[in-house]
Amino acid sequence: MWSVQCIRCLRRSYTTQAPRAVRGMADRLGVSARKHRHIISQAEAAAESYGFEPIHTPILEYSSVFERSLGADSDVVGKELYKFLDSSQQWMTMRPEGTAGVARAVLSNKLENSIPLRLYYSGEMFRHERPQKGRLRQFEQFGIEVFGASHPAVDVECIELAWSFLNRLSLNGELSLYLNTLGDRESRMEYRAALQHYFANFEQQLSEDSRRRLSTNPMRILDSKEEADVDISRNAPAYSDFLSNASQRHFELVKCGLDELGIPYTLDRKLVRGLDYYQHTVWEVKCSSELLGRSQGTVLAGGRYDGLTKALGGLRSLPGIGWAAGVERLSLLLPDCLALAPSPAIPILIIPDRAPEPGCTARTVDDSLYKYALLVAQVVRGQRSAYIAHAPTLGTEQPSVHHPSLGKQLAGALSKEPAPPCALVVGSAEMGRRQVIVRNTATQKQVSIDLGHIVAHLVDY
């Protein structure tokens, strides 16, 4: 039981302490916000050049969407979901990834008759895991999905799009593509049985998570980062020994397609996906850079999931394939110079009136001058971005009093990155003549221009 004193202390802390962000959920502003915008815009342009169209799905889904698609035994469902019971007693989940929601949308909107579908998405995802560099509890992904096309050429096209998108970002670090095949369902079942038989001989030496996966998801043991699991996995059966002829042919066509396009790749027989509906091609792109830390090198992952729609309750098992990229990790690798504002807004500075009495430091701005500054801003925005440098105020302080000097306003405008090429200055004299002072911030030279000619004059900046 909480004592009355504890409750009072808790209430007092709410009213006296400044609010803080939730652990693992970061604010995004300045260069960070521009980096995210740059990455998403580049990804959208790349996807649309391949004929993909946008789709937006809700952040909230019924929990069954992810429990069916990710598997009840997966770490994401077992440990990481943001899940709650709503007022109508329905279990809801904040999406931990994008593919399941897109597949649900295809079924909900009865798009099976419009296949093949080529869709791309971006948005916030949520996982309650330990925050690390490049791994947050609220994070953003960009992804693509193709439904209704099973030819290996589609696999090649999706990988080509991923490779093209990442290379056009000019990231800090070397990119490497890792490739594997999971074969068809029959191949997978045979391999799964072989893995269970192999790892059963080492059950007591496996990590706790791997022992749990032994009966439910033995392929996930191959993906474990625990040192003991890694050592044991080195001599595990190779998937290539269990592939059917059809699976081998599919993978050979994928590899030949990548070779034809000149896309380098490395075969990684340990690259797996734990869920049964994943089939055939899987891949990851990693970036070797200290900016990501030692264990966070994967920036994009994809694969074919030919049974997902059936797992979600669809009448047919549509072939599907897609990939997703982590925007936070890409942002860490993106040089700051690529995320600068393309055209900085032009500040409009107001010359305050002199103090009404000798020795008084207060400077005021008449309301009529503010109206004129608003008019100037409106005219300039016909061609360029512009803003008025308002006086900073705290609490109930009057905004027209203690207006900063012109020098302080100019210093504040020039402190922005990148600095504006010019500043516009207006005072009572300029208002009376319907003019604007244009000050070149690089040369410090200035000239008075009639308001009607200001847009034409700014073409040179």
To the question of whether residue 135 is assigned a binding role by annotation, the answer is no
* Confidence at residue 215, expressed as pLDDT on a 0 to 100 scale: 82
To the question of whether residue 277 is assigned a binding role by annotation, the answer is yes
What torsion do the CA atoms of 136, 138, 143, 147 make, to the nearest 10 degrees?
120
Quick: pLDDT tens for 278-328. 889 999 999 988 888 765 689 999 999 988 888 888 888 899 999 999 999
For tokens 């947050």, name the residue.
Answer: 136
Rounded distance between C-alpha atoms, residue 207 and residue 225, angstroms: 10
3-state secondary structure of 172: coil
Rounded distance between C-alpha atoms, residue 406 and residue 428, angstroms: 13
To the question of whether residue 185 is assigned a binding role by annotation, the answer is no
Please tell me the CATH code under which domain 26-184+244-337 is placed.
3.30.930.10
* Confidence at residue 133, expressed as pLDDT on a 0 to 100 scale: 78
Taking Cα atoms as reference points, which of 275, 274, 24 lies closest to residue 127?
Answer: 24
Per-residue 3-state assignment (H helix, E strand, C coil) for 390-444: CCCCCCCCCCCCCCCCHHHHHHHHHCCCCCCCEEEEECHHHHHHCEEEEEECCCC
Beta-carbon contacts of 376 under 8 Å, excluding residues fewer than 6 positions away, are 348, 386, 424, 426, 436, 451, 454
Backbone angles phi, psi at 402, to 5 degrees: 60, 40
Rounded distance between C-alpha atoms, residue 247 and residue 186, angstroms: 10
More confident residue, 76 or 460: 460
Two structure tokens written together for 96? 């931990």
Kindly report the average pLDDT of the chain as a whole number. 87
Q: How confident is the model at residue 258 (pLDDT cuts 50, 70, 90)?
A: very high
Q: Per mean pLDDT, which of 71-85, 318-332, 355-369 is the most reliable?
A: 318-332
Quick: pLDDT tens for 404-439. 888 899 998 898 878 899 999 999 999 999 999 999
To the question of whether residue 98 is assigned a binding role by annotation, the answer is yes
Give the side-chain half-sphere CA count within 13 A for 141: 30
Q: Which residue blocks in 217-343 are alpha helix, DSSP H?
A: 227-233, 245-261, 308-311, 327-333
More confident residue, 192 or 101: 101
Percent of the chain with pLDDT over 90: 51
Q: How confident is the model at residue 157 (pLDDT cuts 50, 70, 90)?
A: very high
Rounded distance between C-alpha atoms, residue 165 and residue 145, angstroms: 15
Rounded distance between C-alpha atoms, residue 315 and residue 309, angstroms: 8
Q: How confident is the model at residue 11 (pLDDT cuts 50, 70, 90)?
A: low
Rounded distance between C-alpha atoms, residue 155 and residue 254, angstroms: 7
To the question of whether residue 273 is assigned a binding role by annotation, the answer is yes
Quick: pLDDT tens for 331-352. 999 988 877 666 889 999 999 8
Residue 394 reports pLDDT greater than 80:
no
Two structure tokens written together for 49? 């050049």
Q: How many other CB atoms are found less than 10 A from the CB of residue 181?
A: 27
Two structure tokens written together for 135? 């791994």
Domain limits, the chain: 26-184+244-337, 341-460
What's at 400, amino acid-wise? Answer: S
Rounded distance between C-alpha atoms, residue 324 and residue 337, angstroms: 25
To the question of whether residue 97 is assigned a binding role by annotation, the answer is yes
Beta-carbon contacts of 372 under 8 Å, excluding residues fewer than 6 positions away, are 426, 430, 431
To the question of whether residue 48 is assigned a binding role by annotation, the answer is no
Q: What is the mean pLDDT of residues 53-82?
A: 82
Strand runs labelled E in 138-232: 138-147, 174-181
Taking Cα atoms as reference points, which of 258, 277, 82 lies closest to residue 184?
Answer: 277
Q: What is the mean pLDDT of residues 77-93?
A: 87
Q: What is the mean pLDDT of residues 376-388?
A: 92
Quick: pLDDT tens for 205-216. 999 888 988 887
Q: Which fold has domain 341-460?
A: Rossmann fold (3.40.50)
Q: How confident is the model at residue 356 (pLDDT cuts 50, 70, 90)?
A: low
Two structure tokens written together for 426? 């207006």
Strands 117-126 and 91-94: unpaired
Q: How confident is the model at residue 118 (pLDDT cuts 50, 70, 90)?
A: very high
Q: How confident is the model at residue 163 (pLDDT cuts 50, 70, 90)?
A: very high
Terminal CA-CA length for the chain: 67
Peptide bond into 392 cis (omega under 30): no
